[in-house]
Amino acid sequence: MISKFFQRAALAAAALAATMGGAVAVDISGAGATFPYPIYAKWADAYKKETGAGLNYQSIGSGGGIKQIKARTVTFGASDQPLKSEDLEAAGLTQWPQVIGGIVPVINLDGINSGDIVFDGPTLAQIFLGEIKSWDDAALKKLNPKAKLPSQAIAVVHRSDGSGTTFNFTNYLSKVSADWKSKVGENTAVEWPTGIGAKGNEGVAANVANTKGSIGYVEYAYAKQNKLTFTKLINKEGKTVAPTTPSFQAAAAVADWAHAGGFYQILTDQPGAQSWPITAATFILLPKQPPDSAAAAEALKFFGWAFANGGKAAEELDYIPLPAAVVTLIKKSWAANLKDASGKPLVN
Amino acid sequence: MASGLDDHRKGAVVSDMVSDAARPPVAEIERSRILARFAVFDFCFRNLTRAAAIAVLVILGGVILSLVYGSLPAIRAYGFGFLTSQAWNPVTDNFGAAAPVYGTVMTSAIAMLVAVPVGIGIAIFLTELCPYPLRRPIGAAIELLAGIPSIIYGIWGLFVLAPFLQQHVEPILIAACGDIPVLSTLFAGPPYGIGVLTAGSILAIMVLPFIASISRDVFETVPPMLKEAAFGIGCTTWEVMRNVVIPHTRVGVLGGVMLGLGRALGETMAVTFVIGNAHKIAGSLLAPGTTISATIANEFTEAVGDLYTSALIELGLILFLITFIVLACARFMLMRVERRSGG
């Protein structure tokens, strides 16, 4: 009896050791933006099943991600706000966009459905400046002659925490409204002239869903999952567009990635008849000469795999894969910029 | 600690027995050996408790030091203007604490205004008026209320209380107070459902169980003789409470109130959900505001730049000082009450 028990225990221990040995492949660690966390987690799960290599991603926010990669405590950092090429140079980092998302205005008005309402940039800015206070304001009526707009106070909902979403949203408003640019400006957190602050995309979504007469801005995925009423926008070319995968992709495709140093492109207010005006890319940061080149090579393998195989998973979660032409550019930049300690390129 | 005391008592008995006996040398040695052991034990015990007490002081000192150190850049940049400025602009790195300090004080004031009378009322009902079969269930319900995590209150506040206030209570308040001079500013629209008043209400519900259950416990310590004597000379229940029970227990009741106030001042998550997180001092209680702890919780993770982080740490320091001042005031009040009553 006893000997049999021991035999079994020994077998189990051996089996355990074998499986652990199999998983010893280098684990990649990353930290940063919360917005792409769901898709990175999903990719990591699928990638682990395929290759056995794990990814440990901490969604601590873009600011934290930048701090950590500058301190080289993680293999890669992730940020919704790209670093300017001089900042990249100073920190010895390289960056590229990994996935795209759209930011949509969401509203809560009785009897109004998704797509019933259209805003243009300056009007949206006036609402968030607190200058348009009621839903039956003449400017809104002019844009939406057919919609039945109630005489109800507008409750503005914005992010209370610093966020890449806010950066892209305020960047758009600064581009389309001189007033916004001079009074508020663009940043991951700003001094909001009016409204309620809520924490995270989920907080804004919950507040808009709960507050009659409210307007907020969230990542498209949150609008869709929470079944919020989103609006259409008038883009740079004066065309009315709805937030859809093709309109986000159109904005990403027209951006001039090839000539942007370090892929520094903010996808708001892009030209093109199809382009959704508040599109945002989220970025990956990697040291040009990583301290642990094995882990960095492993990370590149993961991101390459994600470009090749991750598109479907991304679309399921309402993220938008990068256009193929951009991916080619990114792979070229990997070969040119990333070197190991001996100066050899990490990928070819 | 308890076992230490037991050992002492046992020691006393043993030494008595030894001294009563014929004192053979063996017993003498035994006795001094036991006494030596007690001395060692006492020494260790005394120093352990002393170390524990000192550890509290060290931790407190460490917290103060690191808060002061962390807020030095902001103190240097803004000086005293930090306390009076309403600005909170991460774009231009211009920060001020007036709005969060106002929000912290205001929400706590609303909470205490509601929770103190209601809490003491519950305690009076439970100790004096409640039929016996109901006392236990109501008492247990209050203690359960104290055990609910604050995030649950926050979610409930956001999804249930705020929409209810927005659609049913606030429009009535705005309409009813429209012509009354002071109230019309305090309750000026539009009704968001989220704001200082909602945060104060949530806090009131959260601190209520502390005040109610501590008051109940101290009311029960009043000697029945005192109360019966008062009833005997024809006092009503109100008079007994007013003149006998509350004067007898005011220290304990005040302690409960202070505990509640402490929780209200520092509460973070529930407030963050329902206050609206707007760095503004509005005249209206229905407008969104912010508190110190809500600001820190919201913005610390994504605070980029040394001055921004430092301003948040200075907010923490201010909260620390506010709590300290409140506790000091409470002590002072207690001392005065004691002296006046000749205690």
- Mean pLDDT to the nearest integer, A310-314: 88
**Looking at the complex, does the CB of residue A242 fall below 8 Å from at least one CB of chain B?**
no
**Looking at the complex, does the CB of residue A187 fall below 8 Å from at least one CB of chain B?**
yes
Band of the pLDDT at A169, cuts 50, 70, 90? very high
Q: How far apart, in whole angstroms, are the C-alpha atoms of residue B116 and residue B200?
A: 13
Q: What is the pLDDT of residue A4?
A: 58
Angstrom CA distances, A203 to A159, A291, B156, B158, B220, stand at 8, 38, 13, 10, 44
Q: Is the pLDDT of residue A341 over 80?
A: no
Q: What is the pLDDT of residue B39?
A: 92
Nearest to A189 among B288, B290, B299 (CB): B299
Q: Is the pLDDT of residue B10 over 70?
A: no
More confident residue, A33 or A6: A33
Q: How would you classify the pairing of strands A240-241 and A232-234? A: antiparallel
Q: What is the pLDDT of residue A215?
A: 95
Q: How far apart, in whole angstroms, are the C-alpha atoms of residue A115 and residue B150?
A: 38
E strand or H helix at B148: none
Where is mean pLDDT largest: A123-132, A318-327, B245-254? A123-132
In chain A, which among 196-215 make CB contacts under 8 A with chain B? Answer: 196-199, 203, 206-207, 210-213
Nearest to A188 among B189, B193, B302 (CB): B302
Q: Is the pLDDT of residue A338 over 80?
A: yes
Type of residue numbered A185: G
Interchain contact, A63 vs B301, CB within 8 Å: yes
Q: Is the pLDDT of residue A187 over 70?
A: yes
In chain B, which among 221-280 make CB contacts under 8 A with chain A? Answer: 272-273, 276-279
Chain A environment of B279 (Cβ under 8 Å):
191-192
Q: How far apart, in whole angstroms, are the C-alpha atoms of residue A127 and residue B279?
A: 18
Record: fold of B81-342: MetI-like fold (1.10.3720)
Q: What is the pLDDT of residues A43-73, one digit of tens each?
A: 999 998 888 888 889 888 787 888 889 889 8
SS3 A239: coil
Q: What is the pLDDT of residues B229-281, one digit of tens each?
A: 999 999 998 999 999 998 888 888 988 898 899 889 988 889 999 998 888 88
Q: What is the pLDDT of residue A21?
A: 40
Percent of chain A scoring above 70 in pLDDT: 92
More confident residue, A24 or B42: B42
Q: How far apart, in whole angstroms, are the C-alpha atoms of residue A207 and residue B280?
A: 19
Q: What is the pLDDT of residue A13?
A: 53
pTM of the model: 0.79
Closest by CA position to B88, among listed B298, B243, B287, B308 = B308
- Mean pLDDT to the nearest integer, A288-312: 89
Q: What is the pLDDT of residue B343?
A: 46
Band of the pLDDT at B115, cuts 50, 70, 90? very high
Q: How far apart, in whole angstroms, are the C-alpha atoms of residue B72 and residue B95?
A: 14
Q: What is the pLDDT of residue A17?
A: 47
Cβ pair A278, A102 in contact under 8 A: yes
Where is mean pLDDT largest: A16-30, A174-188, B3-17, B289-303? A174-188
Token reading at A118: 């259209």
**Looking at the complex, does the CB of residue A58 fall below 8 Å from at least one CB of chain B?**
no
Helix, strand counts (H, E) of chain B: 16, 2
Where is mean pLDDT largest: A199-203, A276-280, B180-184, B246-250? A276-280
Q: How far apart, in whole angstroms, are the C-alpha atoms of residue A168 and residue B282?
A: 29
Nearest to A61 among B90, B191, B301 (CB): B301
| Start-to-end CA span in chain B (Å) | 31
Q: What is the pLDDT of residues B64-102, one digit of tens each?
A: 999 999 999 999 999 889 999 988 888 888 899 999 999
Please name the residue of chain A whose CA is at the shortest distance from the CA of residue B290: A197
Percent of chain A scoring above 90 in pLDDT: 37
Q: How far apart, in whole angstroms, are the C-alpha atoms of residue B329 and residue B323?
A: 10
Distance from CA of B118 to the nearest CA of A (A): 29
Q: How would you classify the pairing of strands A232-234 and A118-120? A: parallel
Q: How far apart, in whole angstroms, are the C-alpha atoms of residue A305 and residue A46?
A: 10
Band of the pLDDT at A87, cuts 50, 70, 90? confident
Helical H segments across B21-78, by residue range: 25-78
Band of the pLDDT at A137, cuts 50, 70, 90? very high
**Looking at the complex, does the CB of residue B164 fall below 8 Å from at least one CB of chain A?**
no
Token reading at A225: 């999952």
User: Counting beta carbons within 10 angstroms of the beta carbon of residue A293, is it exposed (0 to 12), middle (13 to 18) or buried (19 or more)?
Assistant: middle
Token reading at A148: 């039945």
Q: Is the pLDDT of residue B327 over 50?
A: yes
Q: What is the pLDDT of residue A11?
A: 53
Closest by CA position to A252, among listed A35, A81, A100 = A100
Q: Is the pLDDT of residue A143 over 70?
A: yes
Q: Where are the domains of chain B?
A: 2-75, 81-342
Token reading at A190: 């700003």
Distance from CA of A333 to the nearest CA of B (A): 28
Type of residue numbered B12: A
Cβ pair A93, A200 in contact under 8 A: no
In chain B, which among 7-36 make CB contacts under 8 A with chain A? Answer: none
Q: How would you classify the pairing of strands A214-219 and A232-234? A: unpaired
- Tokens 């304001």 belong to A137
SS3 A100: strand
User: Counting beta carbons within 10 angstroms of the beta carbon of residue A124, is it exposed (0 to 12), middle (13 to 18) or buried (19 or more)?
Assistant: buried
Chain A environment of B273 (Cβ under 8 Å):
203
SS3 B333: helix
Mean pLDDT value across chain A: 86
Interchain contact, A206 vs B91, CB within 8 Å: no
Q: What is the pLDDT of residue A348?
A: 60
**Looking at the complex, does the CB of residue A190 fall below 8 Å from at least one CB of chain B?**
yes
Dihedral angle computed from the Cα positions of residues A59, A64, A70 and A76, in that order, rounded to the nearest 10 degrees: 10
CB burial of B233-249 (b: ≥16 within 10 Å; e: otherwise) equals eebeeeebbeebbbebb
Token reading at B241: 């409470």
Type of residue numbered B336: R
More confident residue, A342 or A332: A332
Q: What is the pLDDT of residue A22?
A: 41
Q: Is the pLDDT of residue A334 over 80?
A: yes
Mean pLDDT value across chain B: 86
- Mean pLDDT to the nearest integer, B298-302: 80
Distance from CA of A158 to the nearest CA of B (A): 9
Q: What is the pLDDT of residue A189?
A: 86
Q: How far apart, in whole angstroms, are the C-alpha atoms of residue A15 and residue B145?
A: 50
Q: How far apart, in whole angstroms, are the C-alpha atoms of residue B166 and residue B159?
A: 11
- Mean pLDDT to the nearest integer, A312-317: 87
Q: What is the pLDDT of residue A18?
A: 44
Chain B environment of A191 (Cβ under 8 Å):
87-91, 279
Q: What is the pLDDT of residues B16-46, one digit of tens each?
A: 555 555 556 778 888 888 999 999 999 999 9
Q: What is the pLDDT of residue A19?
A: 46
Percent of chain B scoring above 90 in pLDDT: 42
Q: What is the pLDDT of residue A158?
A: 93
User: Counting beta carbons within 10 angstroms of the beta carbon of residue A202, is it exposed (0 to 12), middle (13 to 18) or buried (19 or more)?
Assistant: middle
- Mean pLDDT to the nearest integer, A68-93: 89
Report the DSSP beta bridge partners of residue A100. A281, A320
DSSP result, B86-150 = --EETTTTEE-SHHHHHHHHHHHHHHHHHHHHHHHHHHHIIIIIS-HHHHHHHHHHHHHHHHS-H
Q: How far apart, in whole angstroms, are the C-alpha atoms of residue A127 and residue A140?
A: 10
User: Counting beta carbons within 10 angstroms of the beta carbon of residue B18, is it exposed (0 to 12), middle (13 to 18) or buried (19 or more)?
Assistant: middle
Q: How far apart, in whole angstroms, are the C-alpha atoms of residue A264 and residue A259?
A: 9
Distance from CA of A33 to the nearest CA of B (A): 10
Nearest to B278 among A186, A190, A196 (CB): A196
